[in-house]
Amino acid sequence: MKFTANQIAEYLKGEVEGDPEVIVDDVSKIEDGKAGTLSFLANPKYEKYIYETDASVVLVNKGFMPVKPVSCTIIRVEDAYQAIASLLQLREEMTPLPSGIDKDVYIAPSAKTGEGVYVGHYSVISSGCVIGNNVKIYPQVFIGENVFIGDNTVLHPGVKVYRNCHVGNGCILHAGAVIGSDGFGFAPRTDQNYKKIPQTGNVILEDHVEIGSNTTIDRAMIGSTIIRTGAKLDNLIQVAHNVEVGEHTVIAAQSGIAGSAKVGARCMIGGQVGIVGHLRIADGVKIAAQSGVSSSINADDQVIQGSPAFKYGSYQRSYVLFKKLPALYQQLRKIENDIAELKKNS
| Residues acting as catalytic residues | 241
Please list, residue by residue across 86-103, b when 16 or more beta carbons sit within 10 angstroms of its beta carbon and e when fewer do: ebeeeeeeeeeeeeeeee
The full DSSP string for 216-283 is EEEPPSSSEEEE-TT-EE-SS-EE-TT-EE-TT-EE-TT-EE-TT-EE-TT-EE-TT-EE-TT-EE-T
Instruction: Give the strand order in the sheet containing 224-227.
Output: 112-113, 130-131, 148-149, 166-167, 202-205, 224-227, 244-245, 262-263, 280-281
Q: What is residue 191's three-state secondary structure? A: coil
Q: For the chain, what is the radius of gyration of the CA atoms?
A: 27
- Provide the 10 A C-beta neighbour count for residue 333: 10
Residue in 160, 156, 124 with CA at minimum distance from that of residue 137: 156
Question: Of how many residues is the chain composed?
Answer: 346
Neighbours of 203 (CB within 10 A): 27
Backbone torsion region of residue 171, taken as left when φ is above 0, otherwise alpha when ψ lies between -120 and 50, otherwise beta: beta
| Dihedral pair phi/psi, residue 297, rounded to 5° | -115, 105
Give per-residue burial for 178-202: e unless 16+ CB within 10 Å, then b: bbbeebbbeeeeeeeeeeeeebebb
- Residue 322, C-beta contacts closer than 8 angstroms, at least 6 positions apart: none
Gap between the Cα atoms of 55 and 99, Å rounded? 35
